[in-house]
């Protein structure tokens, strides 16, 4: 895109700030923001995390190794203190604190070790992974996330319906960004 997508203007905030704002207004106990490429630049420009809050910023110096390195950078900050982690992408501009709380509540009520949103009949982000799967997360390599867990252990997945109107789009291309910006007008 020519610029870090996290820093793209998105209404009243930057794209990443929209997601952070919602996460900070949710019931999540602790947030770890994993920054990779141009971490210093992103850290300088976002408004959150400067004051003492539930938000902790971590730099993933091995970001070139793929998504798995970002998951591990975040996981190592919380795995000794928490029994579950939610993986929330920073480029999903429509995620809300309500959606985060709906997933969290449904997942915790289920007692299952894996949780995800269900959007129009398919699994979507964010996702939650229980402590039983932390060792498997440590074995991830390259540009792989936890998707395979949700396929291999589908009987251990709590799917929480996101409800009508939730848009789970993530911004990967400039065209997707422009389409999102049109929804703000």
Q: How far apart are CA 168 and CA 173, in angstroms?
A: 15
**Residue 161: band (very low, low, confident or very high) from pLDDT cuts 50, 70, 90:** very high
Range of the domain at 19: 5-184
**What pLDDT is stored for residue 51 in this prediction?**
64
Contact status, residue 114 vs residue 156, Cβ threshold 8 Å: yes
pLDDT digits (tens, 9 = 90+) for 84-142: 999 999 999 999 999 999 999 999 999 999 999 999 999 999 999 999 999 999 999 98
Q: How far apart are CA 117 and CA 94, in angstroms?
A: 13
Instruction: Fill in the DSSP letter of residue 36.
Output: -
Instruction: Fill in the DSSP letter of residue 146.
Output: S
Which CATH number covers residue 142? 3.90.550.10
Beta strands in 3-101 (DSSP E): 9-10, 13-14, 31-35, 55-59, 84-87
Instruction: Fill in the DSSP letter of residue 8.
Output: S
In this prediction, residues 25-37 reach a mean pLDDT of 94
**Residue 164: band (very low, low, confident or very high) from pLDDT cuts 50, 70, 90:** confident
**In this structure, what is the dihedral angle of CA atoms 33, 39, 41, 47, given to the nearest 10 degrees?**
10
Contact status, residue 10 vs residue 43, Cβ threshold 8 Å: no
Percent of all residues in the chain with a pLDDT value above 70, rounded to a whole number: 97
Question: Domains in the chain: how many in total?
Answer: 1
């Amino acid at each position: 895109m020519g610029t870090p997508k996290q820093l793209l203007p998105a209404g009243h905030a930057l794209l990443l700030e929209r997601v952070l704002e919602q996460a900070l207004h949710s019931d999540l106990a602790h947030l770890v923001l994993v920054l990779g490429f141009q971490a210093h630049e992103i850290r300088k420009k976002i408004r959150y995390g400067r004051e003492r809050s539930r938000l902790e910023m971590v730099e993933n110096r091995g970001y070139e190794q793929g998504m798995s390195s970002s998951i591990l950078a975040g996981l190592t900050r919380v795995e000794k203190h928490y029994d579950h982690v939610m993986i929330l992408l920073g480029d999903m501009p429509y995620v809300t604190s309500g959606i985060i709380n709906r997933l969290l509540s449904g997942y915790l009520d289920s007692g299952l070790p894996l949780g995800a949103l269900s959007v129009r009949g398919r699994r979507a982000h964010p996702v939650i992974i229980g402590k039983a799967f932390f060792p498997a997360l440590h074995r991830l390599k390259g540009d792989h996330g936890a998707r395979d867990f949700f396929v291999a252990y589908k009987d251990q997945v709590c799917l929480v319906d996101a409800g009508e109107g939730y848009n789970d789009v993530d911004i990967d291309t400039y065209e997707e960004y422009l389409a999102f910006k049109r929804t703000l007008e």
